[in-house]
Each structure stands twice: as structure tokens, then as C-alpha cells.
Amino acid sequence: MGRWVLDNPVLVKEMRVRMRGSRAYWILLGYLMYLGGMLLLQYGGFLSRVQAGTVGASGVSQIGQTIYQTVLWTQGFLVLLITPAITSGALTLEREQQTLDLLVLTRIPRWSIVMGKLLAAVAFVALLLFAALPLLSVAFLLGGVDPGMAVSAYLLLLPAAALVGAIGVAWSAVSRSTMQAVLYTYATLCAGIVCAFVVFGGFQEAQAGLHRGTPGENLLAAMGHVWFGRWGAGGVEGAGSVVLCLLGTGVLVTVARARLETYPERLGGALRLLTALWIGWQVLPVYLWWQDMWYQRAGRAVQVAIQPPLASLVLPAVLLMLVVPVFATGAGVPEEMWHPGRWLRRGFSWRGLRQGVLSSGLPYLLLLTGLCLLLYALPFLLTGRSGDLNRSGVAAAVSSGAAVSAVKRGDFVGAATVLLVSVAGFGLFCHFLSALCRNRWMALQLALLFLLLIWGVPALVHASTAPQEVPDVEVNLAYFNPAVAVCDLADPGTLYGRHLRWGDRWPIWQVTSALWGAVGVLSVAGMWALVRRRGLEVPVDGAVFRSAPGG
């Protein structure tokens, strides 16, 4: 390990530049003084309460826990504040100083450049964390804190620092200027913090038994178990979050490395494999938690309102729709799209799947959807409940009548159909945006804006509409959300109920599948029409010649 670290000239140079100046020591001094001030304030407040007689000797352990939590939360906040500032300019500064091209032309591997920048930042953050151990030892002196708690907290902080640093390095590789990289890094970090607090709040409510058992609350509780829960009797709290952080770091490092490569498509296979591992590690524990809560609910002392296991497929429905724009958008090249059918078939080859070309994005997304469905079916097969796989989402009818009950029952086949068709339709729509804009970033932004529209508008209108009112057109945009269809299969009427216009005539999953199927067909027709109208561009001797449209 020492030889591997010392053989990385980028890491050695970054560590020397960072630690041989006075800036690092001033940061360390200010960091420790801030932590020390917070500790003195906590201890001073406790001492004043003791002198006033409101707290006795039994409250010493309580102040120990308070100091422990204050130090760790302050450390976490400062790590999130300092790490992006260090890494977001790692590569943009090289580009602005016109040294990046020289660095890339050397014999240093691209991964050594990226890892050298990242490890130097993470090593400095680790120094900040371990420098606060003497302050944290005060909590052990007062009692009420177990050493295992500190170990688990540091095991969670270090991978989190690596993930935050990888976010900064990835945006530094993508952005054109340091200012853009800083803004994008902190915006991504703020979004991640909000998601983490929402999941943590749902997990805490589930632990305290305060949630009402809605699908959203159960989903947050399941995700919180993966991120913050203790796995097994002797497990470490947050073990699932550590793995997720490490896999996310690998994904972002691969993205940054691909931006430095001459042929970035060669890393398409590694990037897609890491993404599949990240999503698989997120969804599989949620499946296991949901099935355990469903089948063991009768033997629990406290009854928890839980939907059938089919409702756990809401999580992959959300994750898959979020990653579709990433893998299904690109620079639309008319030469490749001259025959859309042949162009799409080329992506289904093994060579196409290993590369990061645009035509192989849709096959990869369909395989990723199949992986999520396979992981859902795997626990049923291993526990001998294969007969419950297609009946695991049977729910009560929303109205009297056998016909409605037969239509509304949940089944795995319907959920698999709506997921596959939605991913395929949205992927083809992203291909159409790529052909229309001929710019990946513009197509990506339009796809994410469309996703925000079909997710956000129905929720806002539904929240402000009374149940007895006539459904609005805006609410019916929820038909484009496969998560709503999956949730309706597991527990009809829990999300939008009768607000949807065709909710009492056809199952939601059938309408969603039909809509996304139509979007996919129209997108292929639109791509063909765009390419035919623009004509075929052929570069010859520095000039671009365009054939007549349609010929």
C-alpha cells in the first residue's frame, strides 16, 4: 500500500502543496477552536444547571452523550463544508492554469490523476476528524458513551467524506470553470442532505412507532433501515450506508476518469456495472425488510401498518426513472440515426453494451430493470414462497363488486410490465430529445424538467384538491409515474384514489403502460423524421456537406 501511494506523483505533489503551507494549519486551528468552543458551551451550560441544583450527579452521563453528539454533528457539518471546497477545483484549476493537457500527456494513468486528487483531499479531511479525538475523549470521561458508537460514527464519516470529495472531483472534471464546479457541487450536496434528513426522519418515526403506515412512510422506513440501521445482532449502525458511499464514490471517480480519457466509451462497462451494483445494494435490503415486515407482522408485539411486498417496487420505479436520462441522452449524430431501427438494434449487441455509446443506453436500462425485478423475486424463491410471488400484492377492492376486485388486484406481472414499458418509453423519449437538441446537456436538462413536471405537478394539485372534486388534467399527469401504478397494484386508492380520470375504468398500470408505449413509438417516429428532414451530414476536407432531406 505504501509503495502504491508513493508511486502516485499526483498524490505526493498534492499532499506536499497542501501540508507545507500555513493554510492547512490555520484551517486545523480554526476547526479545533470551533469544536472546543462548542464543547465549552455545552459543559458551561451543564455546570450552571448543576450549581442551580436542577441537575444532580445522575446527569453526568447525559452531558457526556450531549457532548458526544455535539462534537460528531459539528464534525459532520464541517466535513460537508470543507471537503467540497477542496475537491471542486481539483481539475478545473489545472484547466484554467493550462496544465491539464500537459498532465494528461504524461505517462501517468488517468485513474492515478483522479485518485491522487481525491485521496489527497480525503487524507486532509481524515486528519481533521482524528485531530478531534482528544475533544471526543471528554465524553468518554463523563460516561454514557460506548466506544463502539464512536467507531461506527467514524466509519460512517470517512466514507461520507470520500463520497462528498468524489462529487467535487466529478463536477470538477465536467465543468468548464471552478465557479461552476463549486456551485454544482454544493447544489448536489444540498439535495443529498435534504434526502438524507427526510429518510432519517422517516426512519426515526418508524422506530418510535409514530408513522401512519402510508406507502411513502414505509418506504422511508425501509430506506432508513438500509442507511442508518444496525444489520444483524452484532452489526454496526450505518453499515449499509458505508457500502452505498463506497459504491457511489466508485461511480463518480469513473465519471471523472472518463472525462479525461481520449476514448471515454471504454469505461462505459465499468460505469454501468458500478451503477447496477449501487442500485442493487439499495433495492435488495428494502425488499428483504418489506417482506420480513409483511410475513412476520402477526408475531410482532407492536402491529405496524404495512402494504404487501409488491409496494417495495416503488423504490426501483423511482431510481430507474432518475437514471434513464443519464444513460439515454447523448450527442445525437445524424449519421448514426439515419436508420433508427438499425441504430437501436446495434446497441443490443454485447460490444455495444460494454461501451458507452448512445444506442446501448436503452438495452442497459432494460437489463437494469430486469435486475431489479430478479432481486425482488429472489427472496421468494430462496424462502420457498414462490407461489406468493404473483399473489403478494393482492389487496382489498376499492368498491363492491367482483369485477372491480378482479381488475384492482396486485400482481407481479403487471408491475414488471409497467416498469419495463415505462423505462423503454422514457428512454426512447430521451433519444428523441438528443436527436432534437444535438447536445447532451440540453437534452438531459429537458428530460429532468419533464420528469419534474410529471412528478411534481400532480402531487401539488392533489394536495390542494378536495377528494369530491372533479379530477383535473394536471392530476392525470400521474399516469406517467410508474411508482403510482405500482403503488396502486399493491394497495389501490392509497395515493390519488378517484382523482385520476380513468381510475375506475381501467387499472392504472395498464393506462401507464399504454401511455409510455405510445410515447416510445412517437419518439422513434420523431427521430426518423428529424434525421430525414435535416439530411445526412458528411465532413469532407474540413467542410460539412449535407445531402438533400430524405435522400
pLDDT category at 521 given cuts 50, 70, 90 is very high
Q: What is the pLDDT of residue 540?
A: 45
Average pLDDT in the 101-108 region?
84
Structure-model confidence comparison of residues 54 and 176, the more confident one: 176
Span 376-403, pLDDT tens digits? 999 888 888 877 787 655 444 343 343 3
pLDDT of amino acid 311: 87
How confident is residue 217, by pLDDT bands cut at 50, 70 and 90? confident
Of 308, 310, 318, 313, residue with least CA distance to 213:
308
Higher-confidence residue of 231 and 515: namely 515
What is the C-alpha to C-alpha distance for residues 322 and 314, in angstroms, rounded to an integer? 13
Q: What is the mean pLDDT of residues 277-283?
A: 92
Mean of pLDDT over the chain: 79
CB atoms within 10 A of CB 411: 19
- How far apart are the C-alpha atoms of 96 and 94, rounded to whole Å? 6
Bridge pairing between strands 537-540 and 543-546: antiparallel
Q: What is the pLDDT of residue 522?
A: 94
End-to-end CA distance of the chain: 60
Residue 303's pLDDT is 61
Give residue-wise pLDDT tens across range 411-431.
888 899 999 999 999 999 998
Averaged pLDDT, 12-39: 85
**Model confidence pLDDT, tens digit, residues 61-77:** 677 778 888 888 888 88
Q: Which residues pair with 543 in a beta bridge?
A: 540
Higher per-residue confidence, 215 vs 232: 215
pLDDT per residue as tens digits for the range 436-460: 888 888 899 999 999 998 888 877 7
Confidence bin at 405 (pLDDT 50/70/90): very low
- In this predicted structure, the answer to whether residue 355 has a pLDDT above a threshold of 80 is no
More confident residue, 292 or 210: 292
In a domain, 120, yes or no: no
Report yes or no on 55 lying in a domain: no
CA atoms within 13 A on the CB side of 256: 32
| Domain annotation covers residue 188 | no
Count of domains observed in the chain? 1
All three cell numbers of 517, joined, read 408505449
Mean pLDDT of 98-116: 86
How far apart are alpha carbons 543 and 546 in whole angstroms? 10
The more confidently predicted of residues 473 and 294 is 294
pLDDT tens profile 230-279: 654 445 667 778 888 999 999 999 999 888 887 777 788 888 999 999 99
Q: Residue 182 corresponds to which cell in the numbers above? A: 463549486
Residue at 194 is within a domain: no
In this predicted structure, the answer to whether residue 121 has a pLDDT above a threshold of 80 is yes
The residue-averaged pLDDT of 475-500 equals 75
Q: Can you give the residue range of the structural domain that contains 390?
A: 320-551
Burial of 231 (0-12, 13-18, 19+ CB in 10 A): middle
Residue type at 15 in one-letter notation: M
pLDDT in tens, 134-168: 888 887 777 777 777 778 788 888 898 999 999 99
Task: Give the model's confidence band at 404: pLDDT under 50 very low, under 70 low, under 90 confident, else very high.
Answer: very low
Q: Is residue 466 classed as helix, strand or coil in its secondary structure?
A: coil
The pLDDT of 320-334, averaged and rounded, is 83
Domain membership flag for residue 205:
no
pLDDT value at residue 401:
40
Q: Which residues in 529-540 are b (16+ Cβ under 10 Å) and which e?
A: ebbbeebbeeee
Q: What totals of helices (H) and strands (E) does the chain contain, helices first?
A: 22, 2
Q: Is the pLDDT of residue 298 over 80?
A: no
**Residue 224 within a domain:** no
